[in-house]
């Protein structure tokens, strides 16, 4: 199996796992654990797992300034995002939540335009317009749902979760290229778990899943979330990014709402209706347009052609010297 194929399989597997996490988390939140305790358990277990893995990897010295940036990023990307994620699922369905979260690249682009002065291309304008159309369709048609207790409020929390994760990506943009993924992840999980520790350590034993009411199925769901989603999903992403382009990986992220929606409908957490696939098409098409950068591809081709020309020139000069030496 080629390295590139391994990269594709790793990214696809990670996104399938993340997609499954949405309906599975919904089942846990509805019956067995509160959103805040669920978030704390994921962060605490993640910190233990990633610091254990980090013990076998060459350590990197992280500056105090970068640790502060990672801590701030951890608050937005782990504490706020995960807490809003779990809380939103109390009020809306996995289908609506996953479609809103798919807007994250659009929100990152808009924030980059505002704060990082990124250039607005035609593709990006079209992508933003399509995604906004999809989001509007979700909001306008998602006012009431038999499967949701307060769909509008849940959709609002979903937007805040996507926005929070977008802020995380902006805040950690520079430090993410300075250190190995395991270094960023282990510190992010540790700081995030420490932030929730004072509030959740006393509430944890009171969760329904730790009482006699708990079933084997509830434990299996929790283990899947704590181990497979938290650990395996986060490990597969950087592994895959070693062998494939980030733009390709971002397109694979669109598997998440598809997987989440299909599984949620099969589990009876939502029902199929015409506006959901239409909104999904608009949102996913918008993300693809935003992720596609023909200028970058053209620059890459130009640089490759330039390198080939240089190599030919070197070969020609080397051949000339060899011929000259032979004649003399």
Tell me the per-residue pLDDT of 250-308, one tens digit each, with 9 for 90 and over: 677 777 888 888 888 888 887 777 777 887 788 778 777 776 665 554 544 454 554 55
Count of CA atoms in the C-beta half-sphere (13 A) of 114: 9
Banded model confidence at residue 146, pLDDT cuts 50, 70, 90: low
Mean pLDDT of the 200-228 span: 91
Is 210's pLDDT higher than 50?
Answer: yes
d(CA 87, CA 34): 8
Largest separation between any pair of C-alpha atoms in the chain: 94
Q: How far apart are CA 94 and CA 108, in angstroms?
A: 22
Query: Residues 193-220: what's their mean pLDDT?
Result: 92
The pLDDT value recorded for residue 294 is 59
| Average pLDDT of the chain, as a whole number | 80
Mean pLDDT confidence for 60-75: 93
Which of residues 71 and 262 earns the better pLDDT score? 71
Q: Which range, of 24-33, 215-224, 261-270, 285-294, averages the lowest pLDDT?
A: 285-294
Which residues make Cβ contacts (< 8 Å) with residue 79, sequence separation at least 6?
A: 39, 43, 192, 195, 196
pLDDT at 48 over 90: yes
Q: Is the pLDDT of residue 328 over 70?
A: no
54-74 average pLDDT score: 92
Q: For residues 79 and 165, what is the distance between their CA atoms, to the nearest angstrom?
A: 10
- Give Cα 277 to chain centroid, integer Å: 21
Task: Give the relative orientation of helices 35-54 and 234-241 as an angle to the nearest 10 degrees.
Answer: 50
């Amino acid at each position: 199996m080629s390295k590139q194929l391994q990269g594709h399989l790793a990214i696809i597997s990670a996104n399938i796992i993340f997609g499954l996490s949405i309906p599975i988390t919904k089942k846990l939140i509805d019956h067995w654990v509160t959103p805040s305790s669920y978030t704390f358990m994921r962060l605490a277990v993640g910190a233990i797992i990633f610091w254990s893995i980090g013990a076998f990897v060459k350590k990197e010295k992280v500056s105090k300034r970068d640790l502060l940036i990672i801590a701030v990023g951890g608050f937005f990307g782990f504490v706020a995002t995960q807490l809003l994620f779990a809380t939103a699922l109390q009020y809306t369905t996995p289908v609506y939540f996953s479609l809103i979260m798919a807007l994250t690249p659009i929100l990152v682009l808009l924030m980059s335009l505002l704060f990082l002065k990124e250039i607005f291309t035609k593709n990006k304008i079209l992508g933003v317009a399509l995604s906004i159309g999809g989001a509007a369709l979700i909001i306008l048609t998602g006012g009431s749902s038999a499967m949701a207790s307060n769909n509008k409020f849940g959709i609002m929390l979903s937007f805040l979760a996507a926005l929070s994760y977008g802020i995380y990506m902006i805040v950690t943009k520079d430090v993410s290229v300075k250190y190995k993924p395991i270094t960023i992840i282990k510190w992010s999980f540790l700081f995030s778990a420490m932030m929730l520790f004072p509030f959740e350590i006393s509430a944890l034993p009171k969760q329904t899943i730790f009482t006699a009411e708990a079933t084997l199925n509830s434990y299996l769901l929790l283990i899947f979330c704590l181990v497979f989603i938290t650990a395996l999903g986060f490990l597969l992403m950087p592994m895959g990014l070693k062998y494939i382009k980030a733009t390709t990986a971002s397109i694979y992220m669109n598997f998440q709402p598809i997987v989440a929606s299909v599984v949620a409908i099969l589990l009876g957490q939502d029902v199929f209706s015409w506006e959901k696939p239409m909104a999904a098409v608009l949102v996913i098409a918008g993300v693809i347009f935003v992720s596609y950068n023909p200028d970058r591809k053209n620059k890459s081709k130009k640089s490759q052609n330039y390198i080939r020309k240089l190599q030919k020139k070197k070969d020609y000069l080397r051949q000339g010297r060899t011929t000259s030496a032979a004649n003399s």
